[in-house]
Every structure is written in C-alpha cells, then in structure tokens.
Amino acid sequence: MDPLTNAEFAIMDLLWQTDRLTARKIREQRYPDAAKAQHGTVQKLLQRLEEKGYVERDRTLSIHFFSATVSRTAYGGGQLEALSQKLTAGSLAPLITQLIENKKITPDEIARIRALLDEQEGGETGAPSTGHGERNQ
C-alpha cells in the first residue's frame, strides 16, 4: 500500500469522516479561505488517489461523488507494518513497548489489546502443539 502525501491524506481524512463527497465539497472543506480557486489541485489529488486505489469515483450522476475504498484502519495498519519493517525488522513488539512505557496508550486501549490477545490465545489453545516453530523451546 503506497503511502499518502500530506495533501492526499488530508483528502482521505475528509472522505473517512463523511463517506462520500463531490470535488467541490472537498475543495470547500479543504480550502475554505483560499484566495484563488483550488479546483485543479483537488482534481489532481483525487485523480492520484483514484490511480493508487484509495478512492473510487461514482460516475452514475452528472456530479461525480468520491468515496474511500480503503478504511482509515486498513491504511493505518499497512503504514504501521511498513514502519515496523523499516525500524524493527518487522517486529511490532518494540513499537508497542515504547508506546506503553511512554504512556501513549490509555488504560482502555490496553484493555482492548489485552482482550484481543486473550481472544487470539484462546483460538490457539484447542490446537495440538507440534513442537515446531514455538518460541519457548
């Protein structure tokens, strides 16, 4: 998944918040106080996002509507994986440890992570151990 530029991310942020928008609405929300029209800029950004597969254009009406094809969560997950590959050879544990130690994760978020881990662990307890690929051997 290609990373987004800051300008592309700003457009995606609008689409994630409102589901679908026209180019005009995006321009009005993104550049409310622009001294000159930003129509070309918004059109180019939407075209790039469409080419990258992040946005789809509904052409069924005379006014085109744009919507995100990738969720914020999916994009964030992909970027987190790319970051972990770059910084920690693919391991997320150092990143999570850093966030916890620096109190960047709230108690509610920790509870959610704990529940997800318990769920994962519960799903694996029914499978017999083969002795292969286990970490604590």
Is the model's pLDDT at 54 over the cut of 80?
A: yes
CATH code given to domain 6-68: 1.10.10.10
Residues of the chain with pLDDT > 90, as a percent, come to 60
pLDDT digits (tens, 9 = 90+) for 71-104: 999 999 999 999 999 999 989 889 888 888 898 8
**Separation of alpha carbons 131 and 100, rounded Å:** 31
Task: Output the pLDDT for position 99.
Answer: 86
**Separation of alpha carbons 69 and 51, rounded Å:** 12
Task: Output the pLDDT for position 128.
Answer: 42
Residues of the chain with CATH 1.10.10.10: 6-68
Secondary structure (DSSP) of 48-83: HHHHHTSEEEE-SSSS-EEEESS-HHHHHHHHHHHH
Instruction: Work out the pLDDT band at 124, boundaries 50, 70, 90.
Output: low
pLDDT digits (tens, 9 = 90+) for 15-52: 999 989 999 999 999 988 876 778 899 999 999 999 99
pLDDT digits (tens, 9 = 90+) for 59-72: 999 999 999 999 99
> 63-67: long-range contacts (C-beta < 8 A, 24 or more apart)?
63/22, 63/24, 64/22, 64/23, 65/20, 65/21, 65/22, 66/15, 66/20, 66/21, 66/22, 66/23, 66/26, 67/15, 67/19, 67/20, 67/21
**Separation of alpha carbons 97 and 40, rounded Å:** 44
Instruction: Work out the pLDDT band at 136, boundaries 50, 70, 90.
Output: very low
